[in-house]
Amino acid sequence: MEKYDAIIVGGGNAGLAGAIALARSRRKVLVVDEGNPRNAVSAHAHNVLGHEGISPHKLLELGRAEATDYGVEFASARIESLSGSLEEGFIISTQASQWQAERILLATGLSDALPEIPGLQKAWGTSALHCPYCHGWEVRDQQIAILGVSEMSTHQALLFRQLSDTITYVNHAPKSLTAENRALLAAVGIEVVDAQVTDIAVSDDGQVQSLALNNGSTLGAQAVVVASQMKANASLFLGLGGDLSQNPMGEFISVNEMGATSVPGVYAAGNISNLGAMIGLATAAGTMAGAAINADLVMESAKKKLARK
């Protein structure tokens, strides 16, 4: 069984950044990735300094090339299990292979659970959005419908109001809109429609056209904003005995400032540990976790050498 200093699960921005940080410290690193990035449906990535509007796929391609230049190895596979401990070492198993590592970095991101509204999934990532900083500029001055589905929806409406004068809040889940928040929306000129969305008309290329409401009316819209329920892809972490934390956006792995989790020897970076992390922040977290893993290994080696004297 081949042994690595660190195995990184997930080859997105956080995982690749962690791999590069480790490889630049001459660590033997393996990245295991399924090839299903969260932003695969998006045509462009934003807030990436020096690469504004780059294709998410191209950005990962560049990152993989950089990592490969430093000697990082890659395996395209779905991991069946992660076992072991800091003392014994960790073992990652796929259907075809097994590898051992002294440290693990989880960078498997998250999954978005959307309300079950016909048409929403088809538009997701094109004209159905969740983040004003990631895609808000692209829908500026458009007719934007905010789906009121959670306590985050009012926050989204206020942020998107900065980008367009034509914002409508559809009170799809009435209990999520408090009287105080309704007053806030009114104060900035956002109309509230007390109805549920029964269907979203979407073109073949993912462009929202209108929303059908349960009161029999139709609301014209060019973009829909919805707060997904975000769930960290953390089954491997749970299998090691780890626990998930929660906030209004969803479930995630808690880490310290260096990316260390509650399970010794296991680190996490990117959306798996920060549900709101954009590409830049995920990349920085990956670099920090990679540096922390290297420092951890350096200290462990030094202590072992001292004990032998």
Digit-coded pLDDT (tens) for 21-40: 999 999 999 999 998 888 87
Q: How confident is the model at residue 43 (pLDDT cuts 50, 70, 90)?
A: confident
Q: How confident is the model at residue 42 (pLDDT cuts 50, 70, 90)?
A: confident
Secondary structure tally for the chain: helices H, strands E: 8, 19
> Token pair 């001459």 is at which residue?
26
| Beta strand pairing call for 197-202 and 208-213 | antiparallel
pLDDT tens-digit map of 133-174: 999 999 999 999 999 999 899 999 999 999 999 999 999 999
Per the CB < 8 A criterion, the answer to whether 220 and 228 are in contact is: no
Domain 2-112+229-308: top CATH class: alpha beta
Residue 27 phi/psi, 5-degree rounding, is -90, 150
Q: How confident is the model at residue 98 (pLDDT cuts 50, 70, 90)?
A: very high
Q: Is the pLDDT assigned to residue 1 strictly greater than 90?
A: no
pLDDT recorded at residue 41: 78
How many whole angstroms separate alpha carbon 273 and alpha carbon 282?
A: 9
CATH 3.50.50.60 range(s) for the chain read 2-112+229-308, 115-225
User: Is CATH 3.40.50.720 the right assignment for the domain spanning 115-225?
Assistant: no
**146 three-class SS:** strand
Q: What is the pTM of this model?
A: 0.94
